[in-house]
Amino acid sequence: MFQKIKGTQDFLDLSLWQFITKTSAEYLNLHNFNQIKLPAIESVDLFKRSVGLETDIVNKEMFVVEQRTGSSEQICLKPEATASTMRAFLENGIQNLPWKVFSFDTLFRYERPQKGRYREFNQCNIETIGTESISQDVALISMLDGLFSTKLKINNYALVLNFLGCQNDRLNFREVLTNFLQASPNICETCQKRSTTNPLRIFDCKSESCQSIYQNAPKIINHLCESCGQEWQQLQNHLELLGVSFAIKPELVRGLDYYNKTVFEFTSSHLGSQSSFCGGGRYELATQLGSKTAVPAIGAAFGIERILLILEQIQDKLLLSQKPALTVVIPLNPEQNILALLVAQNLAQHNLAHDIILDDTSSVKSKMRKANKLGPIYCVLIGQQEQESNSVTLKNMVTSEEQLIKQIDLVSTLKNH
């Protein structure tokens, strides 16, 4: 017997899943975001150049695909969607800005699997590409807040916010932070390494003792240039005016290197240690991917599996779309199979949900038992007598009432009930 690959999942009931994807897609369309579809494989270099060499995603979590000999380009299963979206934006020469798009992507990261963390997982990724206005950050964050609270009915979540400033701010802050780290000898080995290569990354450290040291670290929001300081203020003020509650988290840097200015996460106490279900921020990736001109953008992604974990706990309160009433067609003998198939074909042509019991060796009794398990409102019984009189026996499964009706009247009878 085969077993699923470590860190993957089988989903055997998609009703909640479809509630999430359908609700989100409709809501995003309402805000004039268009759905796109991206490839599952991309060049490894795309992520090295965008996500960053020092990040976990690139450094140790990539699913590199074995290539046929002769091909020099390394490819991988994509670990995130922003770099792909940006690649598609540049490659397709998109002109009308901002480009507002979203996609549902299956992503792969070689992580240690645990609740809410898998090696294959799914995201809804949303990007507004080609806009400098900090008001677009406000628009995106408040749109997400509306999606989570009013449409997906997630309760008890928090929005945490930080501001990483411009490149210059980070360069200056790097010095301030490095000085602090040099005076902190007890940080872990990874942080020590990062303190010279990419000091901001230290805030990602999972070690509790490092995190307690970083409580006293300098905060980048206290080292912003004048214009970034104003944007940071505006972001907070406008979110407040729109009624979006948030908390400031100075150590939030996110796991990818391409962010500048706004970064944010939505977290839920229902998720345990994998508490974040959505993350995003402002970034400039175009120049890193070879464009001559910079293209400022803002984006976010939420994890479908993590939202599933939250919604499973409040499933009863959600209005999930009801399955249509089912009719089950039962040929009593194999001789009636073809007539039953014709009847079923007719039901399909009239958009009536149905199933058909094609089980030649079972008794009528056991066919009825099988049909009953499918939860039908009506059963359509077809035996020799029905066949000879061009009729069917329609059995109401709620009242057990049976009536003999003409085959040509079946659709209208079912539709009128």
Which residues of the shown chain bind ligand ATP in the complex (CB under 6 A)? 80, 109, 111, 116-118, 121, 123, 254-255, 274, 276-279, 301-303, 305-306
What's the CA gap between 299 and 409, in Å, rounded? 55
Minimal CA–CA distance to 328: which of 336, 340, 337, 339?
A: 340
Of these partners, Mg ion, ligand ATP, none, which one is at the site of residue 229 (CB under 5 to 8 Å by kind)? none
Of these partners, Mg ion, ligand ATP, none, which one is at the site of residue 279 (CB under 5 to 8 Å by kind)? ligand ATP
Count of residues touching Mg ion (by CB under 5 A)? 1
In the complex, minimum distance from the CB of residue 399 to ligand ATP, in angstroms, rounded to a whole number: 47
Query: Which of residues 42 and 305 has its CB atom nearest to ligand ATP in the complex?
Result: 305
Query: Which of residues 27 and 302 has its CB atom nearest to ligand ATP in the complex?
Result: 302
In the complex, minimum distance from the CB of residue 255 to Mg ion, in angstroms, rounded to a whole number: 5
Of these partners, Mg ion, ligand ATP, none, which one is at the site of residue 277 (CB under 5 to 8 Å by kind)? ligand ATP
In the complex, minimum distance from the CB of residue 314 to ligand ATP, in angstroms, rounded to a whole number: 17
Query: Which of residues 113 and 255 has its CB atom nearest to Mg ion in the complex?
Result: 255
Is the CB of residue 81 less than 8 Å from the CB of residue 103? yes
Residue 91 CA, distance from chain mean position:
24
Tokens for 167, please give them. 């490149």
Of these partners, ligand ATP, Mg ion, none, which one is at the site of residue 305 (CB under 5 to 8 Å by kind)? ligand ATP
Query: Which of residues 194 and 367 has its CB atom nearest to Mg ion in the complex?
Result: 194
Of these partners, ligand ATP, Mg ion, none, which one is at the site of residue 118 (CB under 5 to 8 Å by kind)? ligand ATP
Angle separating helix axes 304-311 and 15-30, nearest 10 degrees: 120
In the complex, minimum distance from the CB of residue 108 to ligand ATP, in angstroms, rounded to a whole number: 9
In the complex, minimum distance from the CB of residue 76 to ligand ATP, in angstroms, rounded to a whole number: 15
Query: Which of residues 303 and 331 has its CB atom nearest to Mg ion in the complex?
Result: 303
In the complex, minimum distance from the CB of residue 308 to Mg ion, in angstroms, rounded to a whole number: 18
Helix (H, G, I), strand (E, B), or coil: what is residue 36?
Answer: coil
Rg of the chain's alpha carbons, rounded to an integer?
Answer: 28
Minimal CA–CA distance to 169: which of 230, 256, 236, 246?
A: 230
Cα distances (angstroms) measured from residue 201 to each of 190, 251, 417: 10, 10, 63
What's the CA gap between 176 and 220, in Å, rounded? 9
User: Which uninterrupted H or E stretch holds 195?
Assistant: helix 189-197
- Tell me the residue nearest to Mg ion as measured from the CB: 255
In the complex, minimum distance from the CB of residue 208 to Mg ion, in angstroms, rounded to a whole number: 18
In the complex, minimum distance from the CB of residue 249 to ligand ATP, in angstroms, rounded to a whole number: 13
Of these partners, ligand ATP, Mg ion, none, which one is at the site of residue 80 (CB under 5 to 8 Å by kind)? ligand ATP
Query: Which of residues 100 and 249 has its CB atom nearest to Mg ion in the complex?
Result: 249
Of these partners, Mg ion, ligand ATP, none, which one is at the site of residue 218 (CB under 5 to 8 Å by kind)? none
In the complex, minimum distance from the CB of residue 19 to ligand ATP, in angstroms, rounded to a whole number: 17
- Tell me the residue nearest to ligand ATP as measured from the CB: 303
According to DSSP, the β-strands at 63-65 and 75-77 are antiparallel
Considering only residues 249 to 268 of the shown chain, the ones binding Mg ion according to CB under 5 A are 255
Maximum pairwise Cα distance, the chain? 95
What's the CA gap between 1 and 12, in Å, rounded? 19
In the complex, minimum distance from the CB of residue 127 to ligand ATP, in angstroms, rounded to a whole number: 13
Minimal CA–CA distance to 345: which of 325, 323, 326, 329?
A: 329
The 10 Å Cβ neighbour count of residue 385 is 12
Cα distances (angstroms) measured from residue 345 to each of 139, 291, 352: 49, 55, 10
Residues sharing a CB contact under 8 Å with residue 257, sequence separation 6 or more, in sequence order: 50, 51, 52, 54, 55, 198, 201
Query: Which of residues 229 and 255 has its CB atom nearest to Mg ion in the complex?
Result: 255
Of these partners, Mg ion, ligand ATP, none, which one is at the site of residue 278 (CB under 5 to 8 Å by kind)? ligand ATP
Examine residue 146 and tell whether it contacts Mg ion (CB under 5 A).
Answer: no
String of contacts with Mg ion for each residue 198-237, x by CB under 5 A: ----------------------------------------
What's the CA gap between 390 and 405, in Å, rounded? 9
What's the CA gap between 309 and 289, in Å, rounded? 35
Query: Which of residues 100 and 201 has its CB atom nearest to Mg ion in the complex?
Result: 201
Chain residues that interact with Mg ion, rule: CB under 5 A? 255
